[in-house]
Structure 1
Amino acid sequence: MKLQFLRNATLKLDYAGLTILIDPDFGPKHSRPSFTGRSPNPMTELPITTNEILDGVELVLVSHLHADHFDKVAQDLVPKHLPLICQPGDEEKIRSFGFSNVTPLTDELVVNGILLTRREGNHGSGPVLDKMGQVMGFTIEADGEPSIYWAGDTILYPPVRETIETTQPDIVITHSCGAKWDDILIVMDAEQTVEVCRIAPEKTKIIATHMEALDHATVTRDDLQAFAEPSDIGKHRLIIPDDGEPLHLTAPNA
């Protein structure tokens, strides 16, 4: 399995013979407004061209319709014929962008021998939840490949813990920038990410993403690394990739 982290939540995944693009955000640096007044968004450029990102892509997964997960540039550039999987309730909006092969992930779906399962997520807590709207995570499984839990835009709360405990994934991908809205945490921060490392099985690698791209983030890569240092979480378990960095991973028993 090859996973290339691109920027923010955007990933390109070569998995069980299929090339998957997750949450494409293609906007140029500073092309969208600031959330906090600190900087226009996104705060960084993509590490490779959109043509390189789209090369070979056979399936697109969109967790929700916030601009940093499926922006207008990506809506225009991603080929409209590609199969696209989204959370229930977003399919008609995505079809209105011109996409012709849109399937909501209501529970489980098998694509080319890959099992996709929808997982719950809370994009914050309390009064901010209505503002953030519904989101989803998902697990990905296939014979001979490491099992993946892509948690998505969620804080660490009981359903996320339960997913880790029940699925025992080989890889957990977290969004760990500590972004806040109305001063309320809307994705995991350093403390919650290290807690994921603690509750996950010893075999599990945690890949922390979604950092240093948006101006309402409060945790940098260095912040997370520094917070994790005093714990017993070894570097072999917590991976904090740079934009554009490819990771080659195998199932523990492969």
Structure 2
Amino acid sequence: MKIQLIRHATLWLEYGNLNILVDPMFMDPEMMPAFPDTPNDLPNPRVSLPETETDYTSPDLVIVTHTHVDHWDAAAAEQLRKDVPLLCQPGDENVFTEAGFTNVTAVDEKHEYHSVRFARTSGQHGTGEIGERMGKVSGFVLEADGEPVSYIAGDTIWCNEPAEAIRRYQPEVIVVNAGGARFTHGDPITMDGPDVAAVIRQAPDAHVIAVHMDAINHCMMSRTDLSSYLASEQLHEQVLIPRDGESFVFDSKL
């Protein structure tokens, strides 16, 4: 298995003989204003897409965990071919079909495509009223013969849902959306340092990869911040914090 961070939550996976694109956001820097009611007014995205040999506009399959604009944008809708198989959560189908995509599957619980088995998980995109306003979010677990079980948690804080996904599927690779994204009021809506630490402690033998930092204005925890926090907890050697464009290769232990 090879996994590459493109930018923010956009990932490229080579898994089970498939090239899989996750949560594509392709817009150029500063094309979108800051999210409202956030601690700064910096336009988004904060950084360019990386220069890479990967042609991430031509995947075999696309996964969209939810349709917030930093996980699915108009640039991705324009650049991806309209017949690409696309997996999403129930309730999001119309976003893609109305954009002209013709091979959309809303995954209720499980789905299989070629040699890869997909299971959809859930999460909480914040707490209280803000969490309710942020709406439904999903993650996905990937399994294939000879590949490490991999869990893409999506936009969730640490809560019962990701804990249960780890318990149930025993993933060998876990991708978490960190950055401690937040508004001017309320708690973070994505994982912060303590949340990432909780994931590591829940799955001490897994490769944990933290993404979703340094690209969008309301993600207040930087890569440097997260690294420093995990070092203070003596957990920094158990997590990978990739740069945009950086990739890793993992073998299954099973």
Q: What band does the TM-score fall into relative to the shorter chain?
A: over 0.9
Give the C-alpha shift of residue 51 in structure 1. Answer: 8.0
Question: 1:12-27 alignment to 2 at 5 Å?
Answer: 12-27=12-27
> C-alpha distance in 1, partners of 2:126/2:66?
14
1:197 aligns with 2:200: yes
> C-alpha distance in 1, partners of 2:101/2:129?
33
> C-alpha distance in 1, partners of 2:202/2:220?
23
1:247 corresponds to: 248
1:175 corresponds to: 177
RMSD across aligned positions (CA): 1.5
Give 4+ residue runs of structure 1 displaced > 4 Å after superposition. none
Q: For 1:38, give the aligned amino acid.
A: D
Give the C-alpha shift of residue 138 in structure 1. Answer: 1.1
1:34 aligns with 2:42: no
Is there any run of 5+ residues in structure 2 with no aligned partner, and where?
none
In the alignment of these two chains, the number of paired residues is 250
1:142 corresponds to: 144
Residue 161 of structure 2: SS of its match in structure 1? Answer: helix
Deviations 1:182-231 (A, max 9, x none): 3321000011101110111x320100000001111111111111111133
Deviations 1:99-158 (A, max 9, x none): 000000110001112110010111111001232111101100111001111110000001
Q: For 1:111, give the aligned amino acid.
A: Y
Moved more, 26-35 or 177-186: 177-186
> C-alpha distance in 1, partners of 2:101/2:44?
26
1:94 corresponds to: 96
CA contact (8 A) 1:26 1:50 kept: no
Give the C-alpha shift of residue 167 in structure 1. Answer: 1.4
Q: For 1:13, give the aligned amino acid.
A: L
Q: Percent identity between the aligned chains?
A: 38
2:10 corresponds to: 10
Deviations 1:71-99 (A, max 9, x none): 01101111101011110001122100000
2:209 corresponds to: 207
Normalised to the residue count of structure 1, the TM-score between the two structures is: 0.95
CA contact (8 A) 1:177 1:218 kept: yes
> C-alpha distance in 2, partners of 1:229/1:191?
12
Is there any run of 5+ residues in structure 1 with no aligned partner, and where?
none
Normalised to the residue count of structure 2, the TM-score between the two structures is: 0.95
Residue 21 of structure 1: SS of its match in structure 2? Answer: strand
